[in-house]
Amino acid sequence: MSDHYIINGGKPLQGAVKVAGNKNAALPMLAACLLTDEPVTLHNVPRIGDVDTLLRLLQDVGVRVIANGGSSITLHAENIETRKLSSELCLRIRASILLAGPMLGRLEQVELPPPGGDVIGRRRIDTHILAFEALGAKIKHDPVTHSLHIQADGLQGTDMMLDEASVTATENALMAAVLTPGQTIIRNAASEPHVQNLCRMLCGMGAIIDGISSNTLTVQGVDRLRGGEFEIGPDLLEVGSFLGLGAVTPGELRIKNVISDELRMVLYVFRERLGVNCWLDGDDLVVGSEQDLHVAMDRGDAVPKIDDGPWPHFPADLLSIALIVATQAQGTVLIHEKMFESRLFFVDKLINMGARIILCDPHRAVVVGPSQLYGQAVSSPDIRAGMTMVIAALAAEGTSIIANIGQIDRGYERLTEKLQALGADIVRSSAPTPVVA
């Protein structure tokens, strides 16, 4: 029986919340432990479903995982026992593909089953394959299991151009290149904060990487990497989620220990486009108790657009949070999701709750606000849509039941406790639930 949330909305939320470590930094940084036979200690590791699954994958190939208490973990990949990853575990998370780069770089071989993850449309792995092939890897596809057998017979540094600025493909190319002889140049590289976090960790382990924070990374291959101790930064997406929550519920919310430089575009969209009253106070982001949400029209009173794109543009994973805020703002806005063709399909659940949204096509939705939301029984299709429905339920009148919250657990640490501490009327239950859509 899967757990579900029971939420009574309309309660004032106020207080301080500290977000967990960045999920999208933690996953590649955990994978990077495979690049050395020395211990690697990571601090501020989020205890979420995707991290737990990746740790199980690492243990499955022979990595020793030591919990140091709190959010600190030591990983020791002294003896890797297999080059074949578990099909069952890989199907649980998209990030399983991040083990390919370091295993190829260190062991020169890996058998990679198909990765899983959110069902938000086609998620191609072609960019990963092209990067490995550019380094000289040979790749065979099993037409029955759809596994990839990747073999490295003498990798060599190269000048490669990624066909898209994929975050995970950039990370995989980096981790394969740091132990590859010669110079590797990765062009059209992703430069999100979590990619930068990984780059700094690899440099701390002895890698030589230039161009960090840019779209061209230059890697000088080294013979070996050492262990070390590293800190994972705060989760930008969790910061954005609580920012959206504070915007649509009454009460002042203080989000602790944020990195302001990572929030420039996020704050622009929420403040300038949607009228959210929020401000930076030292290392904290404060969402005011008084909100006058309104959509800022483009010149000539044209309907504005909020869209996503590679860093430093607005993050794709926060587009659903901007959408729920837009349902409570005065005015009309076009939400344009460019990356995944199924990600906006969850809006039918918000429409059932009372939101006025027109789904134009798989990538675009027009939101007309404000609208009164009412509690409903719904199911979470993926991590970010699930969090969006939690926010909607907390802003709604009446009771909501959200099923399939294991999806939300994959990306948010101790969410129930954090929300209860802010005054939310939310209960996690494993009792039988009504059938939900």
pLDDT at 308: 94
Residues annotated catalytic, as ranges: 118
Residues 221, 258 within the same domain: no
- Among 192, 214, 231, identify where a domain stops: 231
Is 434 part of a structural domain of the chain? no
Using the structure block, give the residue that is written with the tokens 């979590």. Answer: 194
Residues 137, 37 within the same domain: yes
Is 149 part of a structural domain of the chain? yes
Residues 74, 201 within the same domain: yes
Which of the residue ranges 65-69, 81-85, 225-229 has the most confident prediction, judged by mean pLDDT?
225-229
Is 35 part of a structural domain of the chain? yes
Mean pLDDT to the nearest integer, 1-17: 92
Find the helix or strand (DSSP H, E) in which 340 lies: none
Residues 208, 100 within the same domain: yes
Residues 243, 163 within the same domain: no
Write out pLDDT tens, residues 338-379. 877 778 989 999 999 999 999 999 899 999 999 999 999 999
Residues 39, 12 within the same domain: no
Please provide the size of the chain in residues. Answer: 437
Q: Which domain holds residue 77?
A: 23-231
CA distances from 245 to 76, 291, 301, 302, 430 (A): 39, 12, 28, 27, 25
Contacts of 76 (CB under 8 A, 6+ apart): 33, 38, 39, 40, 63, 64, 66, 227
- Among 231, 264, 299, identify where a domain stops: 231
Q: Tell which wins on pLDDT, 247 or 113.
A: 247
Contacts of 237 (CB under 8 A, 6+ apart): 22, 23, 24, 315, 317, 318, 384, 411
Residues 47, 10 within the same domain: no
Residues 297, 164 within the same domain: no
Is 312 part of a structural domain of the chain? yes
Residues 187, 207 within the same domain: yes
Amino acid sitting at position 255: I
Residues 217, 264 within the same domain: no
Residue 321: give its domain's CATH number: 3.65.10.10
Mean pLDDT to the nearest integer, 372-389: 94
Q: Is the pLDDT of residue 435 over 70?
A: no
Write out pLDDT tens, residues 289-316. 999 999 999 999 999 999 999 999 999 9
- Among 190, 214, 231, identify where a domain stops: 231
How far is 39 from 58, CA to CA, in rounded Å? 14
Is 437 part of a structural domain of the chain? no
Q: What angle do CA 57, 60, 63 make, to 5 degrees?
A: 90
Residues 396, 423 within the same domain: yes
Find the helix or strand (DSSP H, E) in which 16 lies: strand 15-18
Q: How many domains does the chain have?
A: 2
Residues 164, 103 within the same domain: yes
Is 270 part of a structural domain of the chain? yes
Using the structure block, give the residue that is written with the tokens 């020791």. Answer: 76
Is 436 part of a structural domain of the chain? no
Write out pLDDT tens, residues 96-144. 899 999 998 888 888 888 876 544 334 578 899 999 999 999 988 888 8
